[in-house]
């Protein structure tokens, strides 16, 4: 679909029936938890029926292969070659497995990411200090963006890996992944791109990007719910990795029950761990299939059109928007600053009382994000509610409430 055609033809109403929550809520929190596709009911029913009627045979009838088969499905969203993507429970586990495959005992032991990386990833890499990792945090001047030049300067011959967010969760700033991958390649460093805040709303082509590894989860833009994270590893690199955090699914012959050392499987299986959480993986396919059906180019075009409209609307109303002005440097989310950021949770709760779902992150304001099923009128409704709350002060009734999402 050409850019222009996608821009004008995408119709959110063609998809809304598939997402039950849209009947009762103005759902603008897709950067946190995407709406559940109705098809999940059938997926989980099918899982239960298989378990109930096929019992232990289910392992050979799809359960054992689920992390690689569903990995192939997710791989289609990022143009990954067959058998290069595997599924795990979450990104923290994925990054721990990758980290455990690296050798920090040589001079090349530097780990480079921004201070705005998602915290769970920092915890993983900080934990590698005891194995010799040197962490280099690239600073932000404004708490929202990180100059690409500064990232490129930090990546040098001593850099082992650059595990960074593609789109930053707080500000929706989109890092220049192509420039960072090119620089890493030049100096022999690896890039692990966390696409949690991009895949499903920003088109990604792992082969065109030449990225070494990407990871992320299905919870947000992929509408797949919790427990279905992905890891892509570039062919060529894949064969050389031997994660220390491992399990029998990563073994060359798991059902031989060999004892002693790990003997790694060929291909993407070597990046696996123990028995998979099959129900979560199957449930998530409802989201993956829908994203493939809508198409990420169409989603991106529509997202830009919607966020640009909302940005103009909110700006006219006098709200400051800390997320990047240039849509090419943004993910699918806008952030809205409040006069006092501390009041963010109260605004979120006041909006929730009006069935408008958004969230707040300290230091960056209210996060709001349309997806392919969002109507323009819903974004107008949000902007109007924000003005009304600010003018009436009605958000103050919610000061004691805390939002935990
Ligand atoms: C960029 C990014 N990485 C990782 C995570 C979460 O990681 P995990 O799957 O380990 O919970 C999030 C969740 O909000 C995120 O936005």
Is residue 394's pLDDT more than 70?
yes
Averaged pLDDT, 59-74: 98
* pLDDT computed for residue 1 by the predictor: 37
Q: Are 252 and 264 in contact (CB under 8 A)?
A: yes
Could you tell which of 30, 90, 91, 175 is best to mutate to test the pocket of ligand 1, judged by most ligand atoms within 8 Å of the CB? 91
Q: Say how many Å lie between the CA of residue 91 and the centre of ligand 1.
A: 6
| CATH fold group of domain 40-293 | 3.40.640
* pLDDT computed for residue 3 by the predictor: 44
Q: Any idea where the domains of the chain sit in the sequence?
A: 3-30+295-398, 40-293
Is residue 4's pLDDT more than 80?
no
To the nearest 10°, report the CA torsion of 62, 198, 31, 369: -130
* pLDDT computed for residue 403 by the predictor: 64
What is the residue-averaged pLDDT of the chain? 96
Averaged pLDDT, 273-295: 98
Averaged pLDDT, 312-336: 96
Cβ neighbours of 289 (radius 10 Å): 18
* pLDDT computed for residue 53 by the predictor: 98
Averaged pLDDT, 239-263: 97
* pLDDT computed for residue 5 by the predictor: 43
Q: Which CATH architecture has domain 3-30+295-398?
A: Alpha-Beta Complex (3.90)
How many helices and strands (H and E) does the chain possess?
12, 12
* pLDDT computed for residue 84 by the predictor: 98
Q: What's the CA gap between 306 and 296, in Å, rounded?
A: 15
* pLDDT computed for residue 151 by the predictor: 98
* pLDDT computed for residue 2 by the predictor: 39
Q: Say how many Å lie between the CA of residue 196 and the centre of ligand 1.
A: 6
Atom of ligand 1 minimally distant from the CA of 169: 16
* pLDDT computed for residue 251 by the predictor: 98
Q: What is the DSSP string of 303-330?
A: HHHHHHHHHHHHHHTT----S-SSGGGB
Instruction: Summarize pLDDT for 340-380 with one digit per residue, the tens.
Output: 999 999 999 999 999 999 999 998 899 999 999 999 999 99
Band the pLDDT of 398: cuts 50, 70, 90. Answer: very high
Band the pLDDT of 134: cuts 50, 70, 90. Answer: very high
Atom of ligand 1 minimally distant from the CA of 90: 9
% of the chain residues with pLDDT over 70:
97
Averaged pLDDT, 263-271: 96
As a whole number of Å, the end-to-end CA separation of the chain is: 36
Averaged pLDDT, 379-403: 91
Instruction: Summarize pLDDT for 166-188 with one digit per residue, the tens.
Output: 999 999 999 999 999 999 999 99
Q: Say how many Å lie between the CA of residue 49 and the centre of ligand 1.
A: 32
Pocket of ligand 1 (CB under 6 A): 90-92, 118, 120, 165, 169, 194, 196-197, 217, 229
Is residue 130's pLDDT more than 50?
yes
Averaged pLDDT, 52-75: 98
Band the pLDDT of 211: cuts 50, 70, 90. Answer: very high
Residue 356, CA distances (Å) to 217, 343, 369, 370 in order: 24, 17, 12, 12
């Amino acid at each position: 679909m050409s850019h222009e055609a996608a821009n004008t033809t995408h119709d959110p109403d063609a998809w809304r029936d598939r997402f039950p929550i849209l009947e009762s809520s103005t759902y603008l929190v897709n950067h946190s938890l995407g709406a559940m596709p109705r098809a999940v009911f059938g997926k989980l029913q099918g899982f239960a029926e298989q378990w109930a009627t096929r019992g232990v045979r289910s392992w050979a009838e799809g359960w054992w292969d689920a992390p690689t088969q569903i990995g192939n499905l997710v791989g289609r969203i990022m143009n990954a070659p067959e058998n290069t993507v595997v599924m795990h429970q979450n990104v923290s586990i994925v990054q721990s497995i990758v980290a455990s495959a690296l050798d920090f005992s040589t001079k090349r032991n530097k780990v480079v990411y921004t201070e705005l990386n998602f915290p769970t990833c920092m915890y993983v890499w900080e934990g590698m200090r005891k194995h010799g990792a040197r962490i280099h945090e690239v600073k932000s001047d404004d708490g929202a963006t990180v100059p690409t030049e500064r990232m490129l300067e930090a990546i040098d011959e001593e850099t082992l890996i650059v595990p960074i967010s593609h789109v930053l969760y707080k500000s929706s700033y989109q890092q220049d992944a192509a420039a960072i991958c090119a620089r890493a390649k030049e100096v022999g460093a690896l890039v692990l791109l966390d696409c949690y805040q991009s895949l499903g709303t920003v088109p990604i082509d792992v082969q065109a990007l030449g990225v070494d590894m990407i990871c992320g989860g299905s919870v947000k833009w992929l509408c797949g719910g919790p427990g279905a994270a992905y890891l892509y590893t570039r062919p060529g690199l894949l064969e050389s990795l031997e994660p220390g955090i491992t399990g029998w699914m990563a073994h060359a012959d798991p059902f031989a029950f060999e004892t002693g050392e790990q003997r790694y499987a060929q291909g993407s299986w070597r990046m696996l761990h123990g028995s998979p959480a099959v129900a979560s993986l199957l449930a998530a396919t409802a989201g993956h299939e829908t994203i493939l059906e809508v198409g990420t180019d169409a989603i991106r075009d529509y997202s830009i059109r919607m966020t640009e409209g909302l940005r103009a609307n909110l700006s006219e109303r006098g709200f400051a928007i800390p997320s990047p002005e240039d849509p090419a440097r943004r993910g699918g989310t806008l952030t809205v600053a409040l006069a006092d950021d501390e009041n963010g949770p109260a605004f979120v709760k006041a909006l929730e009382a009006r069935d408008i779902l958004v969230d707040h992150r300290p230091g960056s304001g209210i996060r709001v994000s349309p997806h392919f099923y969002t109507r323009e009128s819903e974004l107008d409704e949000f902007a109007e509610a924000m003005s009304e709350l600010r003018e009436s002060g009605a958000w103050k009734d919610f000061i004691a409430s805390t939002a935990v999402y």
